Amino acid sequence: MPERFELAERLKRLPPYLFAEIDKKKREVRARGVDVIDLGIGDPDLPTPPHVIQALQHAALDPENHRYPSYEGMLAFRQAVADWYAKRFGVTLDPESEVLTLVGSKEGTAHMPLAFVNPGDAVLVPDPGYPVYAAGAWFAGGEVHFMPLRREHGFLPDLDAIPPDVARRARLMYLNYPNNPTAACAGREFFSRVVAFAERHGVIVCHDAMYSELRFDGYEPPSFLEMEGARQVGVEFHSLSKTYSMTGWRIGFCVGNARLVAGLGKVKTNVDSGVFQAVQYAAVAALTGPQDASERYRKIYQERRDVVVEGLRALGWEVDVPKATFFVWVPVSKGLDSRAFATRLLDEVGVVVTPGVGFGPSGEGFYRIALTIETPRLAEAMERLKRLRL
Ligand SMILES: *Cc1c(COP(=O)(O)O)cnc(C)c1O
């Protein structure tokens, strides 16, 4: 007999949730009384800056803000985004037509294919990558073509390796730099090649720039939109989640090509009703107010990064020093796959890391450490790794 509430094909086609295995294991090990150190969570542990919270409190008292917000977001917020882009990247945006408010950037990246991908169109997706890109493409009936990110290419996709028939059918390409999970950064030279590729093949570029502000050693990751011609081919996704430790607040934005922004807006008009205005006012305070908190966050993550990189190197593990993001992407010791490695780490020394294969097949051979716990705990985790017998 068929199941009564059979899932739709689009859900059945999603790959199995690989982290479920590690979540279960984590509970088992905790139940044994082990003090588990969790380096698996990509969610800032540092609190939202106080002046942002105050702006929310203030705005929440105003009945004007209790009603439905506008779909595209308040002009005050979109103007703040445009001003921030001008200041940070030297990119001029029209707040009315080139900026759209999102319920977090995850929402926008997931909905984008619904606006522009037809069944059978190819969608180019980085592998390893944030799982939302492939899911969004599948939900729209697109065919996902994974672009492997390899260490020997600096974890940038090899555009020349995309087969001609795929490039011909490609409608949309996702990119994400600074990158989750590899922590790699892309330079302007790579972005210009992406613009040329997009022009040649009529591909829409969706760049997820989520981590552009979690940057270290004075490095300033560029915006894709700085490139000549970029605005003709794509958009950039961003949010306040990581920069201002606001993951729970759910506010982000999509900027760039006006037709693309409008198309995404049209999907959203039909599925959500915008972001609570008090949250938008708080986001304005974050973008336009003092930036000392995010400067402090950068220092803290950088200090943690150094503890991890030095710890791993002392153990003889070769690891690239991230210039941005709060992740470290580490090669697995020879002879083990990333899941087996993560399981042994948890079993033998009570440390949780994320196996690279969870981000796609090309993530195999690596694991991800998130720098979202206090420095002493990270140092303790590095100490524990010494006890691991591989
Ligand atoms: C955290 C993360 C997001 C989600 O951002 P929200 O604005 O909180 O939805 C998007 N992309 C990447 C690569 C992320 O790591």
Pick the residue whose CA is nearest to atom 10 on ligand 1.
Answer: 106
Is residue 169 located within the same domain as residue 303? no
Name the domain count of the chain.
2
Q: Which long-range contacts (CB under 8 A, 24 or more apart) does 16-24 make?
A: 18/339, 18/355, 18/357, 18/358, 19/354, 19/358, 21/339, 22/342, 22/343, 22/346, 22/352, 22/354, 22/355
Residue 27 CB: number of other CB atoms within 10 A? 10
Domain CATH code at residue 326: 3.90.1150.10
Is residue 235 located within the same domain as residue 361? no
In a domain, 1, yes or no: no
Q: Is the CB of 130 under 6 A from ligand 1?
A: yes
Is residue 326 located within the same domain as residue 347? yes
User: 233, 263, 288 — which closes off a domain?
Assistant: 288
Q: Is the CB of 239 under 6 A from ligand 1?
A: yes
- Atom of ligand 1 lying closest to residue 102 CA: 7
Is residue 24 located within the same domain as residue 164? no
**Cis geometry, peptide bond prior to residue 181 (ω within 30 degrees of 0):** yes
In a domain, 326, yes or no: yes
pLDDT of residue 390: 73
In a domain, 2, yes or no: no
Q: Is the CB of 91 under 6 A from ligand 1?
A: no
In a domain, 204, yes or no: yes
**Cis geometry, peptide bond prior to residue 47 (ω within 30 degrees of 0):** no
Q: Is the CB of 176 under 6 A from ligand 1?
A: yes
Domain CATH code at residue 275: 3.40.640.10
Pick the residue whose CA is nearest to atom 3 on ligand 1.
Answer: 106
In a domain, 390, yes or no: no
- d(CA 375, CA 372) in angstroms, rounded, equals 9
- Atom of ligand 1 lying closest to residue 238 CA: 7
In a domain, 111, yes or no: yes
Distance 212 CA to ligand 1 centre (A): 12
- Atom of ligand 1 lying closest to residue 107 CA: 9
Name the token pair of 345.
């780490």
User: 288, 320, 349 — which closes off a domain?
Assistant: 288
**Distances in whole angstroms, Cα of residue 150 to Cα of each of 30, 172, 218, 308, 370:** 35, 21, 26, 22, 20
pTM for the whole structure: 0.96
Q: What is the DSSP letter of 180?
A: T
Q: Is the CB of 180 under 6 A from ligand 1?
A: yes
Q: 153 — phi, psi (to 5°)?
A: -105, 20
User: Which residues partner with 176 through β-bridges?
Assistant: 208
Q: What is the DSSP letter of 240?
A: S
Q: Is the CB of 101 under 6 A from ligand 1?
A: no
Is residue 119 located within the same domain as residue 180? yes
Is residue 193 located within the same domain as residue 102? yes
User: 261, 288, 315 — which closes off a domain?
Assistant: 288
Pick the residue whose CA is nearest to atom 15 on ligand 1.
Answer: 180
Is residue 212 located within the same domain as residue 64? yes
Q: Is the CB of 236 under 6 A from ligand 1?
A: no
Structural domain for 334, as ranges: 7-47+292-385
pLDDT of residue 2: 65
Q: Is the CB of 208 under 6 A from ligand 1?
A: yes
In order along its 390 residues, the chain shows pLDDT tens digits of: 667 899 999 999 888 777 787 888 999 999 999 999 999 988 999 999 999 999 999 999 999 999 999 999 999 999 999 999 999 999 999 999 999 999 999 999 999 999 999 999 999 999 999 999 999 999 999 999 999 999 999 999 999 999 999 999 999 999 999 999 999 999 999 999 999 999 999 999 999 999 999 999 999 999 999 999 999 999 999 999 999 999 999 999 999 999 999 999 999 999 999 999 999 999 999 999 999 999 999 999 999 999 999 999 999 988 999 999 999 999 998 778 999 999 999 999 999 999 999 999 999 999 999 999 999 999 999 999 998 877
In a domain, 134, yes or no: yes
Q: Is the CB of 106 under 6 A from ligand 1?
A: yes
- d(CA 271, CA 265) in angstroms, rounded, equals 10
H helices present in the chain, as ranges:
9-12, 19-31, 50-60, 75-89, 105-116, 132-139, 164-169, 188-201, 230-233, 258-271, 277-288, 292-314, 338-349, 375-385
Q: Is the CB of 127 under 6 A from ligand 1?
A: no
Choice from 180, 327, 368 to test ligand 1 binding pocket (greatest atom count within 8 A of CB): 180
What do you get for the CA distance between the two ends of the chain, in Å?
A: 49
Is residue 238 located within the same domain as residue 370? no
- Atom of ligand 1 lying closest to residue 176 CA: 13
Is residue 252 located within the same domain as residue 315? no
With beta carbons less than 8 A apart as the criterion, state whether 134 and 125 touch.
Answer: yes
Pick the residue whose CA is nearest to atom 4 on ligand 1.
Answer: 106
Distance 73 CA to ligand 1 centre (A): 19
pLDDT of residue 252: 98
Choice from 239, 247, 254 to test ligand 1 binding pocket (greatest atom count within 8 A of CB): 239
- Atom of ligand 1 lying closest to residue 179 CA: 13
pLDDT of residue 190: 98
- Atom of ligand 1 lying closest to residue 43 CA: 1
Is residue 40 located within the same domain as residue 59? no
Is residue 70 located within the same domain as residue 166? yes
Is residue 115 located within the same domain as residue 244? yes
pLDDT of residue 361: 95
Query: 3-state DSSP call for residue 204?
Result: strand
